[in-house]
Structure 1
Amino acid sequence: MKFTCSININKPKLDVVKHFEDPEALKQSQKGFQRIDHLSGNKKEAGAKSKLIYAKFEMIETIIENKLPDTFEAQYDHKNMSNTMHTEFVAINDHETKLTTIIEYTRFTGFIINVMARLFPSMFRKQVDKWLVKFKYYVEKQ
């Protein structure tokens, strides 16, 4: 399953990227996010692994490519699923940035998650859209 979500943020590109890299933005935009623990590799570089800890689950982030302030790509592995996320930042003008994410789920494990992915694929996109809206509001408040 693959989909794209985009949002325009009323802040300069470098401001948006700064917040994208800040774990505080995850706390504000993703319910239950608690912290990131670096596991291996050089932080923020391809191959680096970190554990993302949420109130009800954990996942491993592996950076595939970091070409910020333009693009960032990582793989996220959870016991029930894996996905890649490619994120792009494009300056619309000096005060507005378009953030686009391309999400591709590559693995689902377990009966319930497989059923949800097949019967309700729009649920996954809606969740990403919700996170992007919360991220936008957080960044624009700063």
Structure 2
Amino acid sequence: MKFTCSINVKKPKLEVAKHFEDPEALKQSQKDFLRMEHLSGNQGEAGAKSKLIYKKFDLIETIIHNKLPDEFYAKYEHKSMTNTMRSKFTALNDNETALTAEIDYTEFKGFFIKLMAKLFPNMFKKQVDKWLLRFKSFCEKQ
């Protein structure tokens, strides 16, 4: 399942990309995010792995490539699913940035999550849209 979400942030591209790298922004934009633990590789570089810890679950992030401030591409693994997310940052002008998230769910593990993906695919997109709105709000308040 693939989809794209985007939002315009009223901040310069470099500032938006800086916030994107900041775990504090994750706390503000993703409900129940607690912290990030670096596991292996050179932090922030291709091949680096981190554990993203939420109140009820963990994700393993593997950076595929980090070309910030233009693009960040990573794989996220959970016991129930695997997806990639490519985040692109495009300056619209000196004080506004388009953030586009391209999501590709490559694997669903288990009957329930497969059923949810088939019956309610928009649920996944709505969640990413919600994260983007919260991220935008966080950035614009800084």
TM-score, structure 2 as length reference:
0.99
* Structure 1 unaligned residues grouped into runs of 5+: none
Q: SS at the partner of 1:42?
A: coil
Identical columns (%): 70
Partner of 2:12: 12
Which amino acid in 2 is paired with 1:12? Answer: P
Q: SS at the partner of 2:18?
A: helix
CA distance in 2: counterparts of 1:5 and 1:62, whole angstroms: 21
Deviation at 1:106, TM superposition (A): 0.4
Q: SS at the partner of 2:126?
A: helix
Partner of 2:26: 26
CA distance in 2: counterparts of 1:99 and 1:112, whole angstroms: 31
Which amino acid in 1 is paired with 2:111? Answer: F
Partner of 1:3: 3
Partner of 1:96: 96
Deviating 4+ runs (over 4 angstroms)? none
Q: SS at the partner of 2:47?
A: coil
CA distance in 2: counterparts of 1:69 and 1:59, whole angstroms: 23
Partner of 2:82: 82
CA distance in 2: counterparts of 1:19 and 1:115, whole angstroms: 35
CA distance in 2: counterparts of 1:84 and 1:48, whole angstroms: 15
Deviation at 1:111, TM superposition (A): 1.1
Deviation at 1:112, TM superposition (A): 0.8
* Aligned residue runs from structure 1 range 1-142, under 5 A: 1-142=1-142
1:65-98 Cα deviation digits (max 9, x unpaired): 0001100000000000000000100000000000
1:32-51 Cα deviation digits (max 9, x unpaired): 00000000000000000000
- Aligned length, in residue pairs: 142
CA distance in 1: counterparts of 2:100 and 2:69, whole angstroms: 13
CA distance in 1: counterparts of 2:138 and 2:67, whole angstroms: 23
TM-score, structure 1 as length reference:
0.99
Which amino acid in 1 is paired with 2:25? Answer: A
1:84-137 Cα deviation digits (max 9, x unpaired): 000100000000000000000000011110100000000000000000000000
CA distance in 1: counterparts of 2:135 and 2:59, whole angstroms: 20
CA distance in 2: counterparts of 1:22 and 1:72, whole angstroms: 13
Which amino acid in 2 is paired with 1:46? Answer: A
